[in-house]
Each structure stands twice: as structure tokens, then as C-alpha cells.
Structure 1
């Protein structure tokens, strides 16, 4: 499936990573901020990243909107997301359009008439996930794979974490847990057993659902 994601913030980046892990999709990501776009090119080498404004039809055309099976407009601006949805639905005839709602007061605008097949209410999603976030400390669940059995998760290593200064091997991660990437400033690290954990590291991992709590404990 050809998937176009507009907005390279945390949601767009993590959605791209999730779809890439599945390995069944051709993904293009559009981000208008030059610095962010270039960082995404390093973080996501297997994904096509285009620097440009997703509200510009020429940028959407360059990104292949006319051939997209699905589009996700997930910028931090509701107006932009609606413009992108309308363009993709009416100009490029995309079959499936999802759009992020940043301000709940604007939710009434995100309708099929405006080109939105699937509204994504950020506040509601966060509210539903609050209990799980409390139970798992600083871990934020990004999405679930394999019918909910596997999670793609991200967390930030606090300065007080017992993991700081240790190698990945020394952490003795639970079985069936895999650290897929560490974001450290502008650097993207593909961790090995010898990689040393530092305070402030953003760690992205795959773990079976029943292993998430054990993984969290290694970084407390």
C-alpha cells in the first residue's frame, strides 16, 4: 500500500516507523521545516522524506498523492490538516484520508465533507492511554503490532535512571525485547550490546505486551 504522511513531528515520525516495521507499505513523509526534514532523512533511511509544505498541491503531487492509497495529515496545525485532507480527497482522489485534531474545539470540522475519513483526536487518544502511561512510568506506547501482542514504544532516559552509564548488554533486557534506535540530540544510534546509555536518550524499542513493565524497570 502507498502511504503518504504529512507532518514529521513525533506522531508522523512514529507512524512512519510503525508502518516501516510492518514491511508491507511504500511510505513517503512530507515535512516543511528544513532541519526537521533532514533529521528525518537520517532517522528513517528506508523512507522517502520530502521537504516541503503539505498544503501546496505541487508538493503533494511530488510526494505522489495521486498514487496514494492512504494519507495521514498529522501536522500540529488543524487548519493545515484540513487543507491537506481537502486537497488529497478532492484534487488527488485519495481513497482513505486520516487527519489529526490538535484542538478538540475544532473536532466538528473534521468530517467526510471536509475530506476526512478518519479523524484522530489527539487529546482523546492521550486520555484513553493515560492509565497505561501511569502504570509504565515514562514509557509512551506508540502503537501495537500483531493484533496487540507487540508494542512499538518510546521513552526518555531520565538523569536518575539506573541505566545511565551502562551498556545495553549490561542491562540484561527481558527476552523478546529489542532496542531498535536511540535518538541522542541530532544523532541516530542503532544500538549494539556495547552502546552506553546516556541521560536524555530517547529509546525506541519493540517488546511483547507482557514484557513492557519489565523493560520499563530496566530504565528506572
Structure 2
């Protein structure tokens, strides 16, 4: 995959490093002397294209006509919106990703300017806090399908309602599939007759609401009886891990 990154600031340079490590073809456009001196130490020289990201000739030199993805990571929301718009309308770039610098401008980053994905740090933090308060001890390992589904993990504590019950007898939420059970260090493929044991680590695919219900089903009695997030101001005890 060929990714064109517009701006070699900290965000753009780190993104480039990660993509290069995953064997993607990457170009970074940058013209600030201080930034160029730094990224020439961090990135291969052939990856860096020196020039103004708002100059179409520079973008064409960087290969925008062949780019699969354009990532607009400048510190200007106006520039990021313009870059996404130009990439799609002039060069038919398949995917556009834009950094949102000012959360007040987030409403602009949608199909009007051909932004496929808007990276809004304030929104991401708010989402993390919301999930932190609602999923108890459940851990989110991976987000699937742009955040609609997740691979979650829950370790079964003593006294959980699910202990001793076969999977087929559990009141599993509609949008939840138990994918695997890790028991005493061994990975098991679950069957309907497989009974849940204390200490099992359950891996499941679930949407957000399903994950909340699953956390309740697998939690210890002292936690499951507490009010959920938003009731009496009491917070859950969990943590969220994203990769």
C-alpha cells in the first residue's frame, strides 16, 4: 500500500515509521528546515519529499496520483481539509485521513470535504473514558470494523454467574461470539457444551453494548450489583487497552 503523508511533524514522522516497519510504501512531504533536519535522522532519505504540502506540483512529485491513502497531518485544519478534498476530487485517492487539531472544527471533517477518517484526539479520549467507566474489568484488545466491534478479554473471577455453566446455557447478548478460552495456559476452542471455569480467560467478539452485557455476566457478584456508569455517579473498575 502506498501512503502519502502530508507533514513530517511528530505525528507524521511517527506514522511514517510505523508504516515503513509494516513494509508499506511511504512518502512524507515537508518543507520546514528544523523538521527536515530531524526527520532525515529518523526516516530513509528516499521517503522524504521536500516542499510545500499545499503545492500541487510537490504533491505530484511525491506520487499523489498513485497513492492509495493520503494522510493529512498538518497543524492546520484548513490545510488538512483542503488536502483531502484535492486528493479525492483531483487525484481520485481511494482513502483520506485527516488530523483534527481544533475539536471545534471536527464537524467539518466528513464527506463534504471527502474525509474518510477524522482523527480527533478529544473524541478518542472521551470514548476511552466512556468505555473505561462501563466495561468493568473487561479489557478491549483490538477494535474491528472501524470501532463497531471489538475483540475483548475477560478473566472469570470466583463467584461469577457464568462459573459452572455451559456456553449454550449462558444468556449471551445477540452480538457476542465467544472465540476462545484460555485455561491454565492452554487455548481451547469453545463448544456449546464447554463449561466456564473460575480463572478462565474468555476471548470474545462483541459490539459495545454486547461487551457491557458480557462484562456484567462474567463479573464477580460484588461488582455486578453496583450501578452502571451514569447511575449515582459510581464508576466501574476496569481498564481499556488499545493496540
Partner of 1:86, secondary structure, is: helix
User: Residue 51 in 1 paired to residue 50 in 2?
Assistant: yes
Report deviation, 1:112. 1.5
Q: Distance in 1 between matches of 2:81 and 2:38?
A: 26
Q: CA RMSD in A?
A: 2.9
Conserved? CA contact 1:57–1:87, under 8 Å? no
What are the superposed Cα offsets for residues 129-174 of structure 1, whole Å, 9 maximum, x if unpaired? Answer: 689xxxxxxxxxxxx9xx99xxxxxxxxxxxxxxxxxxxxxxxxxx
What are the superposed Cα offsets for residues 37-92 of structure 1, whole Å, 9 maximum, x if unpaired? Answer: 23212211265111211111111101100000001001111011011111111111
1:99 aligned residue: 98
Partner of 2:115, secondary structure, is: coil
Partner of 1:29, secondary structure, is: strand
Q: Distance in 2 between matches of 1:115 and 1:88?
A: 9
Q: TM-score if structure 1 supplies the norm length?
A: 0.56
1:181 aligned residue: none
Structure 2 unaligned spans of 5+: 131-141, 143-149, 152-240
Alignment coverage as a number of residue pairs:
138
Partner of 1:72, secondary structure, is: strand
1:112-151 superposed matches below 5 A: 112-127=111-126
Q: Distance in 1 between matches of 2:45 and 2:36?
A: 14
1:136-175 superposed matches below 5 A: none
Residues 130 and 53 (structure 1 numbering): CA distance in 2 closer, same or farther, change over 3 Å? farther
Structure whose CA Rg is larger: 2
Partner of 2:19, secondary structure, is: helix
Partner of 1:55, secondary structure, is: coil
What are the superposed Cα offsets for residues 166-216 of structure 1, whole Å, 9 maximum, x if unpaired? Answer: xxxxxxxxxxxxxxxxxxxxxxxxxxxxxxxxxxxxxxxxxxxx9xxxxxx
Q: Distance in 2 between matches of 1:61 and 1:7?
A: 15
Conserved? CA contact 1:7–1:30, under 8 Å? yes
Partner of 1:61, secondary structure, is: helix
Structure 1 unaligned spans of 5+: 132-143, 149-209, 211-220
Report deviation, 1:118. 0.8
> Which of structure 1's runs of 4+ aligned residues deviate more than 2 A?
122-131
Conserved? CA contact 1:73–1:98, under 8 Å? yes
Residues 33 and 129 (structure 1 numbering): CA distance in 2 closer, same or farther, change over 3 Å? farther
Report deviation, 1:32. 2.4
